[in-house]
């Protein structure tokens, strides 16, 4: 264990009625805010009777022993780290990055260093926009850690405001364009269409996003088109998705909701893991090597916030994704 962390524990009063974990923690550790304790739980720093508990609302029974690992306070501002960046475009106002899978966009509990923001600070110096706050300077939108592809970052406040307005408009005016390539289980029918389903944080697992009834979550729209059937057996499909809205995990949840989760998705495709047994030896090995959801941000277009020039960028499939596609095609 890192010497800068501390482990604190408590035992719930034997015979006490079951109570929410976060309430028990807040009462037991009055020097830590309830929000901080909830965040520690969601990030995997809380164990109940030697079992990790990530849901702060989970009920704990009397007599339970709870341990909390409390990381040392982090500096208020991320530090720059001179680590590799794949720069697709850069000018005085913005920078477009081709993000590899596995790279976290901005610092958070458990990911204080090595993020895209740490790299941007080292690369751009003091020019990054401050609107996003010290934890995410210049960040206008984000990609999941294990999603690869294109991402634009503002280098000053004018660019941040202009780009944010385009993302808030969700491309309805035609200025913003985002397209992703995904490998999914099965073949969506119809082979081109629109998925409209509201999304909200799952009530049962706070790490997941779920489809909810209209009015209970955030409006979300994904346009999709089947691009190919690798292998020709209907077991998998290559799908191009265009976002009309940009909600957390949107493509992954929408396609899973339709019965076509992404290959390699450990969160929304776990029920389909047994389907891998139907793949040939080479595709199975390539899927294991991928080790993530098969999702890539392949296209990004927007108006330059200062010049109003139309900019459009494309990103080739990374090696792990293209290797899986080639193996599926045989």
Q: For residue 300, list its beta bridge partners.
A: 178, 313
Q: For the segment 139-182, what is each residue's pLDDT rounded down to a tens digit?
A: 889 899 999 999 999 988 888 889 988 988 766 666 899 999 99
Q: For the structural domain made of 174-330, what CATH number should be given? A: 3.30.2350.10
- 211 with 257: CB under 8 angstroms? yes
Domain boundaries, the chain: 6-70, 75-169, 174-330
Structure tokens at 247: 């909600």
Q: Is 92 a catalytic residue?
A: no
Rounded to 5 degrees, φ, ψ at 183 are -100, 125
Superfamily of segment(s) 6-70? RNA-binding S4 domain (3.10.290.10)
Domains 75-169 and 174-330 in one fold: yes
Indicate which residue of 93, 98, 144, 265 is catalytic.
144
Q: For the segment 198-228, what is each residue's pLDDT rounded down to a tens digit?
A: 999 898 887 899 999 988 899 999 999 999 9
Q: At what angle do helices 21-28 and 34-42 cross, to 10 degrees?
A: 130
Q: For the segment 80-139, what is each residue's pLDDT rounded down to a tens digit?
A: 888 899 999 999 999 999 999 999 997 776 666 889 989 998 898 777 766 565 556 788
pLDDT at 1: 47
Give the number of residues written for the chain.
330
Looking up tokens 């475009």, which residue turns up?
89
Task: Assign domain 75-169 one CATH number from 1.10.3720.10, 3.90.640.10, 3.30.2350.10, 3.30.1340.30.
Answer: 3.30.2350.10
pLDDT at 128: 78
């Amino acid at each position: 264990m890192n010497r800068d962390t501390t482990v604190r524990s408590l035992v719930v009063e034997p015979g006490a009625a079951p109570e929410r974990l976060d309430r028990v923690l807040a009462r037991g550790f009055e020097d830590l805010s309830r929000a901080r304790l909830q965040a520690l739980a969601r990030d995997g720093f809380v164990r109940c009777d030697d079992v990790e508990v990530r849901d702060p609302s989970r009920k704990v029974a009397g007599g339970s022993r709870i341990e909390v690992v409390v990381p040392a306070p982090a500096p208020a501002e991320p530090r720059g780290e001179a680590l590799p960046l794949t720069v697709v475009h850069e000018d005085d106002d913005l920078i477009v990055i081709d993000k590899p899978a596995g790279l976290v966009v901005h610092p958070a509990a458990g990911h204080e260093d090595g993020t895209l923001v740490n790299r941007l600070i080292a690369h751009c110096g003091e020019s990054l926009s401050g609107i996003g706050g010290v934890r995410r300077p210049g960040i206008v939108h984000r990609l999941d850690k294990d999603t690869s592809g294109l991402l634009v970052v503002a280098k000053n406040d004018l660019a941040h405001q202009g780009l944010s307005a385009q993302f808030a408009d969700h491309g309805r005016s035609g200025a913003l364009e985002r397209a992703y390539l995904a490998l999914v289980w099965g073949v969506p029918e119809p082979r081109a269409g629109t998925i409209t389903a509201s999304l909200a944080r799952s009530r049962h697992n706070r790490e997941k996003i779920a489809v909810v009834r209209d009015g209970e979550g955030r409006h979300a729209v994904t346009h999709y088109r089947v691009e190919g059937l690798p292998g020709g057996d209907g077991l998998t499909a290559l799908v191009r998705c265009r976002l009309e809205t940009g909600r957390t995990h949107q493509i992954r949840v929408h396609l899973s909701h339709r019965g076509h989760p992404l290959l390699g998705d450990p969160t929304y495709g776990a029920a389909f893991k047994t389907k891998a047994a139907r793949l040939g030896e080479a595709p199975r090995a390539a899927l294991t090597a991928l080790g993530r959801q098969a999702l890539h941000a392949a296209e990004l277009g927007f108006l330059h916030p200062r010049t109003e020039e139309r900019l459009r960028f494309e990103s080739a499939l990374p090696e792990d994704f293209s290797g899986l596609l080639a193996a599926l095609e045989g």
